[in-house]
Structure 1
Amino acid sequence: MKSIFFVMGLHNHQPVGNFDHVFEEAYQHSYLPLLQTLMEYPALRMMYHTTGPLYDWLEGHHPEYFDLLKVLIDRNQLEVMTSPYEEPILAIIPDRDKCGQITKMSRYLTERLGAKAQGLWMAERVWEPHLARPLAECGVKYITLDDYHFQGAGMSPDELLGYYQTDEQGHSLSIFPINQKLRYLIPFSPPEEAINYLRSRANESGRNLLVMADDGEKFGLWPGTYEWVYQKGWMRQFFTLLREAMTEGWLKMVTFSQFMEANPPRGRVYLPTASYFEMSTWSLPPQSGATFEHLIHQFQDQGRMDELKPYLKGGIWRNFLAKYDESNRMYRKMLWVSDRLARAETLLKPDQEEEHQTLAHARDRLFKGQCNCAYWHGVFGGLYLPHLRHAIYQNLIEAEDHINRITNPDGGFTEILVSDLNADGSDEVYLRNHRVGLIFSLREGGTATEFDYIPARFNLLNTLRRQQEAYHENVHKAGTEIEQGQSIHDQFLTKEIGLERFLVYDRHLRGSFIDHFFSAQESPEALREGRYYELGDFVGGPYELTESDTTTGRIRLERHGRVVDNEVIVVKIIETLPAEAGVQVEYRVINRSSFPLTIAFAPEFNFALLGGNYTDKYYYRIEGESERQPLNSMGQSENNRRFSLYDENDGFAVHLDFEEPARVWRYPVETVSMSEAGFERVYQSSCVLPVWNLEVEPEKVFVAKFRIVVEKLKTEG
């Protein structure tokens, strides 16, 4: 009789910082009903992986779930897989953190579930050849990757019916290929189609293996799938057909370990750097991504996709670090914190137990700051979601603060670090003390790219530039109706009709201390809509660090440039406040021409407080308007001595205190992005610009002074 082995695997994940209601919905609609259904079919076996952030949430909200897990493990229905605990992209974190994260998860599985994991789930199936060694050194026996990885090594579908062995410097690792056709059939097509496909690959030897391992969320959480999979009975129908096939004898449902015990690898393989096929599109720049998508559809229409797919190479995961500066900022922050933690650990003696505990807590926060989702963007990936980026910064800032307690045990300190922190070949300036930390890019206009308020573990500059995406060309096609039984990769949904009105693209990275020169005719509306004229060359132009004083926490940045026909020098002096969280700012605009400089000068500041229309986050006391205005409002106000943004939820307010009254413009920064739920508009930050109309005579100087103060709000009671 012809027969075949089948492995079905589930990967369940929610990112660090996701909302409780998302966890709960995923639990009720996906994680719980799937295991409850599996309990009804004791003959079926599956692979099972859940990430650390989700385990942590389950411990606090649904500890009864572990009872169900243990029953299924004891019945040999589930084989659990390990992973790095907080689900980072393994290839990009330091080697010392790779093994630390994997060890943490493996120990947890043993202590909590009594399970010893031999295999590892690769986050987003991102593979780089060097990973074989650290994985093997951490005790991992096997992993599973997509068939696309193997096809990229020149292998045909008929060769992908088993597992292979790879190695790095003598360290061996087994790799199972995931079948993409099964990934797309399950659960989006009638269950008979997947069963028929499995039967079609059976042979007389009975040694063939097919693997379907994918996100557990597509069984109930993805749009339309709960009704399709559970209410309309897809899952029970599929499980029933699997059980019948096993009874008939032509299907053998096993786990990876069971298959490896009875079957040797089919040979050696050396896979190229890759992820699943869709990721190779998402990581490309927008124009290249759109071209790649068109080629894919063209080949599909011609019926040539299976023939040509092995030779289609899109981008790799690391492209996201070049595609999105905001991703690179988080990544470099993570590397910097990891390096400082490793150095701090060398300072301690074995008997310093309290200090070791402090650094252990820092390590846990570092690991959370490595969770992958906020570092990239596609149909999945959370770069466009401010709360997920905030969770990364929150944990990294907390880790940094704990490290500071070891390296600066006396508490107060001021440092000015000059180094290429973001790996762009130019120096950044990191001005920091125990209250605030600001990073300035000399290359990019002397712009502040990070402004950390340490007590709240909050990066005030956690914003995102409005930039073109390949899928923006499809925004106008999107509708609001879900087609059941169809993959989310094949649908265009939208949460809001008319989003094409918000497809505005920024000319520069978002940050603070961005030095604009405008005509008097410009307005907040023009800036929001991207139809203004920049009259100077200071935005994005290189600045020099001309003064650095750690005693006072003072830096001076300077650029010689042009505003229309005028030769102009802009000097900005930033100094940390001695007794408050914040900085003193002094701007000097020097006219070096022989004729007057008549222009509007407007340095841009972005404040990302995680909510544009929340009642506990607002502008306060806007001149000429009501006392409170939402952070997604637009307007201008005159004669401001103090301009404030309040965040009651996180317990602080940001004040711009002007030495002389100033006009202030404001508008929201909102992006249009895509997720599994469709296209959506997302508030990223509030853009605030003090505006001064200058009349500067030749060789004269305009001076503006103000403070940016972050005030801790008093809590009632």
Structure 2
Amino acid sequence: MFLMDKLQLLLCFHCHQPLGNFDWVFEESYQRSYQPLLQTISQHPRLKFSLHYSGLLYDWLASHQPDYLALLKKLVKRGQIELLSGGYYEPDFSLIPFEDKIGQLELLNNFIKQNFGRPPLGAILPGRACEAQLPKIFKKLALEYTLIDEDYFPQSSFLAPARPSFFTTEWEGETLFVFPIKRQLSESLGHQAPEELIASLKRINQAQPGSLIVLVTDAEKYNSPDYLTALFSLFAANTAWLDLTTFSLLLEEPSPFGLVYLPLDPKSHNFLMGCPAANNLHKKMLEVSSQLKTAAAAKSLFGKHEREQEISKARCHLYQGQGGTAYGKGIHHNHLRQAAYEQLILAGLELDKIKHGNRPFVELTVSDLDKDGQAEVVLANNVLSLYLSPKTGACFELDYKPKAVNLLSTLTLDPAPKSVCSFVDQLLPDDGRPYAFLPNRKTGEVGLRLEKTGQVNGQQIKLQKSLTLLANQSIVAIEYELSGELDGLSLGIEFNFNLKFVEPLPVVKLVDEAEGFTVLLELNQVAALTTYPVETVAHDGAKIYQGVKLLFCWQLAGTHWPLKINLRIE
């Protein structure tokens, strides 16, 4: 019930760990933050709170700390805690397809209903930003409200209520309650002394009696129960003018201020524009989602049950691979980026089973994967997928399917996170012209031929290279042919791997000790080899190892010069 003379405080704690984070981080966050938070809440039964947990954290708690979930269920049952839904794997909703938005929300809705006895009435999304389609999506799932940062609300006089309140928004006739989050006050929690927060809230209510204030704070900020104990004790001591409530209680008698249309948040898409590494990952996710949608819509007369199981597995991997951290600032963390690739590759493996069964295969696809208006080429078999850009003549992704790893998931900061490719030719000037390309399909074999000409030291030089992939083999065969007046020129070929360099020429060996496989580079021409660590710098100045760069160099002579390289994984 809305009490006109009291300040209505809706305090929501957000609890989340990203896909790929280390288990010790989960455990440390539990001991330092999640467990003290819930214990402190249980000691103040008259105070009400809202909590949001991502599905990934629910999964970890269920397997590592089941007693915690039992206490959470008890507090939900007695009406002290309201659980908010969201995307199960915490995706950035502005970056995933419409059907996946519904699927991610539905997954967490069902988990909350099955484990805590009541369905959620609202959801909070990463970034606390708005999506125009949210009212329609939420209506499908019986969700009534969401929380949006106040910065997204238009600052105009006709939208200025006499006291802080909440609103409705609409899309194609469907409505949704939206609660503005006091961003600056939320950010001060955990840093500002509890007495100062209480004083700030009291000033708001004295100026505008009956105000409604929404605060959202990350639970991981609170590394000691002392702050929360002091804060909750002050809440309890000020109930004469302060009422901690929940969204569902408030909406029993809803009184929104009015209708509002909120602007879309372009930050995520702008980040993709300036960060090729995140853009490549995002476009791979969209491609997997599109393939899954096609597979799910196809009819099958035989093996229907097995097909549905594979679709379900693929969807689960896709949803995990949509976790938003790796598509934003987390992109420069190797373990977070690789975890997203792993799930997307696993989703692709399930789709391979639907399409090819357990039979060896090869396939070649030409499409605009990164949506820049120019074609990319994918050579794939049941072991490898090779992503090639005729624009640069390089390979920007190499998936080793038995281990679900992208061997080229390395990046530099130049100045934004930028993917580092392999098969990069260093001879012809970079004049912006793409390579001419010719895809080749044969029985049990696919390939791509790339060709480019240019002036080097006043001489016309032609560079041709072919990449070939055979069915059921973990070998990429690369052949070069250079022609023209080559005397005095040198050719460099650059490889970048998310691996550890072990042995130099004549056969270069790189290993993944954790996964237990080796990458071999075999050359038929002796080369000079230089290696460099590929590193980025974290926010605290620490270096983050991304992988190793290999630069092979050959001195050229004559008018025709061939080269063969085999890349083999074992």
Q: TM-score when scaled to structure 1?
A: 0.76
Give how far 1:465 is off.
2.7
Alignment partner, residue 568 of structure 2: 709
Q: 1:38 corresponds to which residue?
A: 41
What is aligned with 1:142? 145
CA displacement 1:573-632 (0-9 Å, x = unmatched)? 1001455312001112222xxx544222111111013xxxxxxxx43333xxxxxxxxxx
Q: Quick one: structure 1 residues 644 and 238, their matched pair in 2 at CA, closer, same or farther if it must change by over 3 Å?
A: same
SS in 2 for 1:270: coil
1:430 maps to: 378
Partner Cα separation in structure 2 for residue 516 and residue 154 of structure 1: 60
Equivalent of 2:497 in 597, 607, 627:
607
Cα distance in 1, alignment partners of residues 386 and 236 from structure 2: 60
Letter of the 1:651 counterpart? G
Whole-angstrom distance in 2 between the partners of 1:69 and 1:453: 41
Deviation digits for residues 551-586 of structure 1, max 9, x if unmatched?
321110111223342222211110014553120011
In structure 2, the CA distance between the partners of 1:148 and 1:54, relative to structure 1 (3 Å rule), is: same
Rate the CA distance shift 1:253–1:338 in 2: closer, same or farther, 3 A: same
2:554 corresponding residue in structure 1: 692
Distance 2:242 2:142 in 1: 31
Match for residue 454 of structure 1 among 386, 389, 401: 401
Match of 1:488 in 2: none
Distance 2:246 2:486 in 1: 78
Deviates more, 1:237-246 or 1:569-578: 569-578
In structure 1, distance between residues paired with 2:275 and 2:57: 27
SS at match of 2:412: coil
Partner of 1:343: 294
Structure 1 position 153, deviation (Å): 6.7
Give the match for residue 250 of structure 2. Answer: 259
The whole-number CA distance in structure 1 between the counterparts of 2:541 and 2:157 is 36
User: Structure 1 pair 342/156, CA: closer, same or farther in 2 (3 Å)?
Assistant: closer
689 and 367 in structure 1: CA distance in 2 versus 1, 3 angstrom threshold: same
Structure 2 Cα separation of the partners of residues 159 and 136 of structure 1: 29
Deviation at 1:219, TM superposition (A): 1.7
Task: Report the CA distance between 1:159 and its aligned residue.
Answer: 6.0
Kept in 1: contact 2:368–2:374 (CA 8 A): yes
Given that 2:437 and 2:448 are in contact with CA atoms closer than 8 Å, whether structure 1 keeps it comes out as: yes
Instruction: Give the whole-Å Cα distance in 2 for the aligned partners of 1:541 and 1:512.
Output: 19
CA contact (8 A) 2:441 2:447 kept: yes
Q: Secondary structure at the match of 1:654?
A: strand
**What do the CA deviations read for 1:224-245 (whole angstroms, capped 9, x no partner)?**
xx4xxx3xx2211111000001
Give the 3 Å change call, closer, same or farther, for CA 540–26 of structure 1 in structure 2: farther
Match of 1:328 in 2: 279
User: Per-residue deviation at 1:126?
Assistant: 2.9
**Residues 101 and 642 of structure 1: CA distance in aligned 2, closer, same or farther (over 3 Å):** same
Q: 1 CA distance for matches of 2:200 and 2:503? A: 66
Equivalent AA in structure 2 for residue 710 of structure 1 = I
CA contact 1:375–1:383 (8 Å) conserved in 2: yes
- Going from structure 1 to structure 2, the CA distance change for 1:582 and 1:127 (only over 3 Å counts) comes to farther
8 Å CA contact 1:348–1:356 kept in 2: the answer is no
Q: Distance in 2 between matches of 1:39 and 1:192?
A: 22
1:540 and 1:510, CA in 2 relative to 1: closer, same or farther beyond 3 A?
farther
Aligned residue in 2 for 1:566:
459
2:127 to 124, 129, 145: 124
**Counterpart in 2 of 1:621?**
503
2:52 to 49, 54, 58: 49
**1:27–1:540 Cα change, 3 Å:** farther
Q: Which residue of 1 aligns with 2:359?
A: 411
In 1, the alpha carbon distance for the partners of 2:543 and 2:412 equals 13
Q: Distance in 2 between matches of 1:159 and 1:29?
A: 40
Q: 1:349 to 1:203 in 2, by over 3 A?
A: farther
CA distance in structure 2 between the aligned counterparts of 1:55 and 1:566, rounded to whole angstroms: 64
d(CA) in 2 for partners of 1:574, 1:153: 60
Q: Which amino acid aligns with 1:336?
A: E
The question of whether the paired residues in 1 share the 8 Å contact of 2:187 and 2:217 is answered with no
Alignment of 1:544 onto 2:451: no
Other structure's SS at 1:679 match? coil
In structure 2, the CA distance between the partners of 1:387 and 1:620, relative to structure 1 (3 Å rule), is same
Residue aligned with 1:79, SS: strand
Q: Give yes or no for contact 1:369–1:391 (8 Å, CA) kept in 2.
A: yes
SS at match of 2:26: helix
> Could you tell me whether the CA contact under 8 Å between 2:389 and 2:395 is conserved in 1?
yes
Q: Deviations over 1:344-369 (max 9, x none)?
A: 12334486111211111111001001
TM-superposition CA deviations, 1:643-701 (whole Å, max 9, x none): 00011211211000112333322111111132xxx333111121112211112x3xx22
Alignment check: 8 A CA contact 1:417 1:430 kept: yes
Q: Cα–Cα, structure 1 residues 317 and 142, in superposed 2: closer, same or farther, change >3 Å?
A: same
- Checking the alignment, whether the CA contact within 8 Å between 1:8 and 1:46 is kept in structure 2 is yes
How many residues align structurally? Answer: 565
- Displacement of 1:49 in angstroms is 0.4
Task: Please give the alpha-carbon distance, in whole angstroms, between the structure 2 residues aligned to 1:546 and 1:34.
Answer: 61
Partner of 1:287: none
The one-letter code sitting in structure 1 at the alignment partner of 2:550 is V
Deviation digits for residues 353-401 of structure 1, max 9, x if unmatched? 1121111111100100110000011xxxx11101111111101101101
Give the aligned partner of residue 647 of structure 1.
512
Match of 1:373 among 325, 330, 333: 325
**CA–CA separation in structure 1 for the residues paired with 2:436 and 2:538:** 36
Q: Deviations over 1:222-281 (max 9, x none)?
A: xxxx4xxx3xx22111110000011xx20011001111223411000001113xxxxxxx
What amino acid is the match of 1:188? Answer: H
Does 2:410 match 1:463? yes
Query: Displacement of 1:92 after TM fit?
Result: 2.0
Paired residue for 1:24?
Answer: 27
Aligned-residue offset at 1:205: 8.0
**C-alpha distance in 1 between matches for 2:550 and 2:471:** 25
Q: Look up the match of 1:289.
A: none
Report the RMSD for the aligned CA atoms in angstroms. 2.0
Equivalent residues of 2:423, 2:494 under 8 A apart: yes
Q: Which moved more, 1:563-572 or 1:318-327?
A: 563-572
Among candidates 104, 109, 133, match of residue 106 of structure 1: 109
Q: Structure 1 CA distance, aligned partners of 2:163 and 2:469?
A: 60
1:361 corresponding residue in structure 2: 313
Q: In the TM superposition, what whole-angstrom CA distance separates every residue of 1:170-208 from its partner, at most 9, and x where no partner exists?
A: 011110011123213211011111101111111598532
Read off the aligned partner of 1:570 and give its amino acid letter. Answer: L
Q: For residue 539 of structure 1, report the CA deviation from its aligned partner.
A: 8.5
1:704–1:652 Cα change, 3 Å: same
Per the TM alignment, residue 216 of structure 1 is displaced from its structure 2 partner at its CA by 1.4
Aligned residue in 1 for 2:483 = 590
Q: Any residues of structure 2 matched to 1:55-74 within 5 Å, and which?
A: 55-74=58-77
Residue 541 of structure 2 corresponds to which residue in structure 1? 679
Counterpart residue type for residue 706 of structure 1: I
Counterparts in 2 of 1:539 and 1:239: CA distance versus 1, 3 Å: farther
Secondary structure of 2:198 counterpart: helix
Moved more, 85-94 or 195-204: 195-204
**Contact 1:428/1:440 (CA < 8 Å) preserved in 2?**
yes
